[in-house]
């Protein structure tokens, strides 16, 4: 009897996790299919190409990060951004199995960082960054095994809206 209860619980948790992941993914797919957001998608193949080239990446952790990223999707709306979009994705992320690492409220600016944690405190399995400034929304979804310190170093070199907020991430080793 206990085994059946345990198995039911495990199956329920897997289904709930899968449903939550699908609803977040569905939200981003809806934005990608619409015309309100500029969307940048960088797939695994691009990261493999970067890793294969003799790119000047000094840090081994950053090289590992580039190899482990599956996809990055960046959604930007600078003109007609709806606060309801921000609230909806924040609600979906908060009700999922994701962990909110950072929450910043400064005047009209809002920043939320959600991750899917692992047993290793330096790594997460995916990340969602939500940024709301005045009439602008920036949503960043990164899929893959991510070393947060390496991500912060890599994004310092990139000039993409929203990434500037990732430099607030530090591992316990760096503090």
Q: Please write the tens of the pLDDT for every residue from 18-46.
A: 334 458 888 999 999 988 899 999 888 88
Does the global pTM surpass 0.75? no
Residue (of 132, 139, 138) closest to 111 by Cα position: 132
User: Which region, left, alpha or beta, applies to residue 154 given φ > 0 means left and ψ of -120 to 50 means alpha?
Assistant: alpha
- The answer to whether residues 53 and 97 touch, using CB atoms and an 8 Å cutoff, is no
Q: What are phi and psi of 104, to 5 degrees?
A: -125, 135
Angle, CA of 76, 82 and 86, to the nearest 5°: 75
Q: Please write the tens of the pLDDT for every residue from 104-138.
A: 998 888 999 998 888 888 888 888 999 998 888 99
């Amino acid at each position: 009897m206990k085994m059946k209860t345990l198995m039911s619980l495990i199956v329920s948790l897997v289904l709930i996790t899968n449903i939550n992941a699908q609803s977040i993914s569905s939200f981003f797919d809806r934005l990608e299919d619409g015309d309100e957001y500029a969307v940048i998608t960088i797939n695994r193949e691009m990261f493999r190409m970067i890793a294969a080239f003799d790119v000047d990446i000094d840090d081994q952790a950053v090289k590992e990060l580039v190899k482990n990223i599956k996809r990055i999707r960046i959604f930007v709306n600078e003109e007609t951004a709806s606060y309801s979009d921000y609230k909806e994705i924040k609600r979906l992320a908060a009700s999922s199995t994701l962990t909110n690492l950072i929450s910043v409220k400064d005047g009209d600016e809002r920043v939320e960082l959600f991750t899917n944690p692992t047993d290793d405190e330096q790594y997460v399995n995916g990340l969602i960054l939500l940024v709301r400034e005045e009439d602008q929304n920036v949503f960043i979804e990164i899929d893959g095994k991510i070393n947060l310190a390496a991500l912060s170093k890599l994004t310092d070199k990139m000039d993409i809206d929203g990434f500037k907020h990732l430099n607030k991430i530090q591992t316990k080793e760096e503090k």
